[in-house]
Amino acid sequence: MNEAALHWPQRNPRVFLLVATVLWFGLYQTLQPASEALVAAMPVARDSHLGGALQFFLYDTPKVLMLLAGIVFVMGMVNSYFTPERTRALLAGRTEGVANAMAASLGVVTPFCSCSAVPLFIGFVQAGVPLGVTFSFLIAAPMVNEVALTLLFGLFGWKIALLYLGLGLSIAVVAGWVIGRLKMEAYLEDWVRDMPRVQAIAADVRMPLSERIGAGFASVRDIVGRVWPYILAGIAIGAAIHGYVPEAFMASIMGKDAWWSVPLAVVIGIPMYTNAAGVIPIVQALLAKGAALGTVLAFMMSVIALSLPEMVILRKVLKFRLIATFIGVVATGILIVGYVFNLVL
């Protein structure tokens, strides 16, 4: 029986996906009443601060974890269609412009690990992907990813998630395009420029649906297994603030009226190095304490997209001037996003 259950996704992948989807939605619907019931069973008053905080924590934790598991699973399957080799073949030899937008979008769906950033970079350039297009990919891939979007959606709602997606992609497209216009090919390290050109060929790997499901499970194990402590911390902070009266502590430092708060957020974010999940608890705390949304999003983008360790590795393939340009262009983009946000909202 157990054996049969284990091999079920392999034998009947379509049926498995259908049943898993129905179960997922069913379970998701029960989270709200279940959390209320749990709090009611506890010896605390529901309308007290503690009761409110407990209900928030008991509802948000499984909600965000379920959302994350579901979306990471789907993205794991989607990722199996977009190998880096395939993405490179799609981008090679294209002219800039539309290709920047393509590269940024592909950056979202191509599996990407920050330790692969440099080999990927060289591989792209070697196959004739224009430098600016390569940068569009390299900026979007870490910044706009399913973990960041899911957490923003789960904790702050779909509007903020959608804004982050749109603005992140815009920064990647425009920054890549600007770097392309600056014609900085001469600032690649010499050995990179002298590498033999390669043809971008993507082997057409046919993968059965059952294997894609396996890839989905693998990424859930990997990603959710890695980020859940950060999420718990983020929700705990949110719950603590939720139940009690929010102070406007940060409003004076990081509020809308402080013009210098956005550049400060970006500058503080650059040396910080963490993934999208790690920054969420901080974002949660800042927002709740009255920091302006644009400032907080600028901070989050800066932490994820620009990191000192990555620059150190990139230095092996880029000359200093190109790295400085890269940081400058992306930081300017983030800055504009922060200001526009604070102005509009």
Partner 1 sequence: MKDIKVLGTGCANCKATIALIEQVAKARQVEVKVEKVEELREIMGYGVMSTPGVVIDGKVVHAGGIPGRDKIEQWLAA
- Name the site residues for partner 1 (rule: CB under 8 A): 83-85, 88, 111, 113-116, 118-120, 122-124, 126, 191, 195, 198, 218, 313, 316-317
In the complex with partner 1, the residue whose CB is nearer, 93 or 119, is 119
In the complex with partner 1, the residue whose CB is nearer, 173 or 317, is 317
In the complex with partner 1, the residue whose CB is nearer, 118 or 167, is 118
> Residue 92, class by beta-carbon neighbours within 10 Å (0-12 exposed, 13-18 middle, 19+ buried)?
buried
The DSSP code sequence of 83-136 is -HHHHHHHHTTPPTTHHHHHHHHHHHHS---GGGHHHHHHHHHHTT--HHHHHH
Sign of CA dihedral 122, 82, 109, 102: positive
Min dist CB 247 to partner 1, Å, is: 39
Which residue in 99, 107, 89, 168 sits closest to 337, CA to CA? 168
Which residue in 28, 53, 31 sits closest to 42, CA to CA? 53
Min dist CB 146 to partner 1, Å, is: 16
Q: Which residues does 312 contact at the CB level (< 8 Å), separation at least 6?
A: none
Min dist CB 284 to partner 1, Å, is: 26
Min dist CB 123 to partner 1, Å, is: 4
Which residue in 70, 55, 60 sits closest to 281, CA to CA? 60
Q: 308: which 2 tokens?
A: 């000192």
Min dist CB 119 to partner 1, Å, is: 5
Min dist CB 66 to partner 1, Å, is: 25
Residue 1 to residues 7, 8, 143, 153, 217, Cα–Cα distance (Å): 10, 11, 44, 38, 21
Which residue in 82, 79, 14, 71 sits closest to 215, CA to CA? 79
In the complex with partner 1, the residue whose CB is nearer, 90 or 258, is 90
In the complex with partner 1, the residue whose CB is nearer, 36 or 85, is 85
In the complex with partner 1, the residue whose CB is nearer, 186 or 218, is 218
